[in-house]
């Protein structure tokens, strides 16, 4: 069924829920688990909106994501699951789908938090919605409120 599961993990509340759901599925299906965290390339990473590339800021952001990823892998290990992980850099949906193809994932698991206002939903967009449209495999969206 789901032999290779890819979890897009960011350490958020919805990411924690996705990790728990992913853990249950992996145990049931005896799956390989891979976690990814995606660092978007945008002007914030490049330095205060002035268009100046700051490699130190980018490296700190990447290390912070690596720490989040390591924490998720420790939680899985404590529950008896081995997992691999990688920090990716680029557009979130593109990077997740590209990595899913690379590892031949059968399932992508992602967290999603319902937003209260229509303006917040419009402004933020939905990674999970876009992922469903572009994924090369099934997608499980773990929802928190």
137: CATH: 3.40.50.620
The H or E element containing residue 19 is: helix 13-29
What whole-number distance in Å separates Cα of residue 134 and Cα of residue 137? Answer: 9
Is the pLDDT at 113 greater than 80, yes or no?
no
83-96 mean pLDDT = 94
**Total domain count, the chain:** 1
Is the pLDDT at 27 greater than 70, yes or no?
yes
Helix locations, 38-134, DSSP H? 43-47, 55-78, 92-103, 118-124, 127-134
Decide if 66 contacts 11 (C-beta within 8 A): no
pTM exceeds 0.85: no
Is the pLDDT at 52 greater than 70, yes or no?
no
What whole-number distance in Å separates Cα of residue 27 and Cα of residue 106? Answer: 15
Is the pLDDT at 15 greater than 70, yes or no?
yes
- In this prediction, residue 40 has a pLDDT band, given cuts at 50, 70 and 90, of confident
Domain range for 27: 4-144
80-99 mean pLDDT = 93
What is the average pLDDT value for the chain, to the nearest integer?
A: 84
Exposure on the CB side of residue 69, measured as CA atoms within 13 A = 22
């Amino acid at each position: 069924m789901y032999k290779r599961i890819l979890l897009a993990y960011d350490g958020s509340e919805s990411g924690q829920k996705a990790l728990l759901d992913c853990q249950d599925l992996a145990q049931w299906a005896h799956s390989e688990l891979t976690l990814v965290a995606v660092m978007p390339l945008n002007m914030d990473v490049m330095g205060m909106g002035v268009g100046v590339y700051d490699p130190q800021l980018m490296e700190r952001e990447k290390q912070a994501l690596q720490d989040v990823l390591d924490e998720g892998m420790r939680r899985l290990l404590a529950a008896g699951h081995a997992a691999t992980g990688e920090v990716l850099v680029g557009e979130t949906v593109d990077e997740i789908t590209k990595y899913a193809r690379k590892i031949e994932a059968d399932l992508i698991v992602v967290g999603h938090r319902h937003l209260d206002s229509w303006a917040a939903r419009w402004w933020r967009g939905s990674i999970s919605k876009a992922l469903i449209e572009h994924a090369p495999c099934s997608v499980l969206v773990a929802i928190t409120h």
